[in-house]
Chains A and B, each alone.
Chain A
């Protein structure tokens, strides 16, 4: 069983999606418990896999017993072990929060369909992280994307239009990725990541290689909402139903960022094809610096809470890419650290806003009034999440910013260092506007000692509490994450 872990991580959600659909045809009430079981099993598998990798080094799993490069290989090392563990943990906590929102937003017939698609989404995401085969990655990327398009469309009126736009954008991106894979195939004859890495060492640099690399990066850029390819994100995540954006927002763009890291470093940098990479990174360094400012200003202009969060998400992706673009050890550490931290930050925030929407029945900035009347949550989690986003210590966001700026300074990219620091300040404008509204308005009406009742909702509370705890502990124990990251970076 333990040897099958890499496959189990993908197979379990896949099987459960069928199960949820079939059982849900008869008895709707089973769909959430089944989904949560799926998430719990997945969490166990992801964590087991992570610890196995930490103890024993890189794991290589041959699907179906076929030797690579003829067969598909699932390969787990420190980097994807870490990302996988985070996906498992974050999705589990988000799963705790889902039940109440889904009950509110979806008619009973629809719920099993939703959970089916969410299971497929998890399957796709875990698969992307675990796989070591480039084409298999494309397939799993599309699995994750399809389920995303469909569940985004299940939202309010207008969601289907945003979902269509998302579909068009996303498919263009995935196809560019495929085109890039094709170029690599022409040049090396293999689809297996490790094998391609070996073969690329012997391949001379050529225009075809550079073009293939660019296609790959543009395709992944669309998927990870890298400025300026981010246009699909704000509409998709704000029009989608609340429960859907909870599951999509923290995870899907980060998984795509992981793919970008793999391609950039494992495939291209470590194989000495650094010229194409260097040019691309310098260019993207300038683009994301601009993107940070752009998304900060856009965030300030939004009235809907989830759209503001979407722009924060975009700027966090730009931060991450700035770390990659600095091309230094500290920058890379910062990028991966930020990937991990941001999953928790965005999970915390989107879930909190979802709870808020549930309790107050509205999702614009007016919903933030008198947040403390609702009890400890979502006030505390919004506070922690927002402070983490702007990089206030001791939350995790501060420490990823620490490494990102160090990386930028080391590579003498002043524009990136300044963008990182000033961007956080600009984001702070929005954050404190929210916090002011939430905690500093209207408490005159609150009678001391009386706390508004948030109806039960234990799932939400446990989930949000978990996120808050993680935000603090990930911050204070950054060293642990960095040590794992260093195992991957190697140099």
Chain B
């Protein structure tokens, strides 16, 4: 049983992160906390991908130079997930950027970042 946990401890950690992030994004009332939780959620997935690429005893995925020394087959860490995750990180950053801009505007308009306060102001103002 312990074996089952310990052999895949990294995936268990990511699952925990994912659950926490999801919980925070949905349940928390403060919009900024939601955003932070969303980030945690996104990062858990990024870590998950990175773990896919990792290889036991693998080395940096760069070809040895031509001509110098004899070339021997090596085990490389899979570079593809890293590449994909570069893109995903950028996407995450862009999401956070937009979200922060939105939060600024929300704060300007409603004077609060608490969801229930905003909703009640909206109800009383908008009708």
- A–B interface present (Cβ within 8 A): yes
For residue A182, CB closer than 8 A to chain B, the reply is: yes
Q: Judging by beta carbons under 8 Å apart, are A160 and B25 in contact?
A: no
A182–B78 alpha-carbon span in the complex (Å): 14
A369–B12 alpha-carbon span in the complex (Å): 60
A191–B49 alpha-carbon span in the complex (Å): 13
For residue B67, CB closer than 8 A to chain A, the reply is: no
Q: Judging by beta carbons under 8 Å apart, are B84 and A135 in contact?
A: yes
Q: Which residues of B contact A60 (CB under 8 A)?
A: none
Q: Judging by beta carbons under 8 Å apart, are A161 and B110 in contact?
A: yes
A267–B103 alpha-carbon span in the complex (Å): 39
Q: Which residues of B contact A171 (CB under 8 A)?
A: 38, 42, 95
A167-B98, A179-B45 known; A161 vs B91 contact (CB < 8 Å): no
Interface residue stretch chosen among A105-113, A146-154, A199-207, A467-475: A146-154
Q: Judging by beta carbons under 8 Å apart, are B98 and A150 in contact?
A: yes
A139-B87, A178-B88, A182-B52 known; A167 vs B42 contact (CB < 8 Å): no
User: Beta-carbon contacts of B47-76 to A below 8 Å, as 1s and 0s?
Assistant: 011001000000000000000000000000
Interface-central residue, B18, B25, B34, B45, by most chain A CB under 10 Å:
B45
A424, chain B: closest CB distance, angstroms = 32
B interface residues, how many (CB within 8 angstroms): 32
Q: Judging by beta carbons under 8 Å apart, are A164 and B25 in contact?
A: no
Q: Which residues of A contact B109 (CB under 8 A)?
A: 157-158, 160
Q: Which residues of B contact A172 (CB under 8 A)?
A: 22, 25, 38, 41
Q: Judging by beta carbons under 8 Å apart, are A146 and B98 in contact?
A: yes
Q: Judging by beta carbons under 8 Å apart, are B102 and A149 in contact?
A: yes
Name A166's closest neighbour in chain B (CB-CB).
B102
Name B22's closest neighbour in chain A (CB-CB).
A172
For residue A332, CB closer than 8 A to chain B, the reply is: no
Q: Which residues of A contact B122 (CB under 8 A)?
A: 158, 161
A153–B48 alpha-carbon span in the complex (Å): 32
For residue B118, CB closer than 8 A to chain A, the reply is: yes
For residue B99, CB closer than 8 A to chain A, the reply is: yes
B38, chain A: closest CB distance, angstroms = 6
Closest 10 CB pairs of A and B: A160-B105, A164-B102, A142-B91, A160-B102, A160-B106, A179-B45, A175-B45, A182-B49, A158-B122, A171-B95
A-B contact pairs, 16 of them (CB 8 A): A142-B94, A150-B98, A157-B109, A160-B109, A161-B110, A161-B118, A163-B102, A164-B99, A164-B106, A171-B42, A172-B25, A172-B41, A175-B42, A178-B45, A178-B88, A179-B18
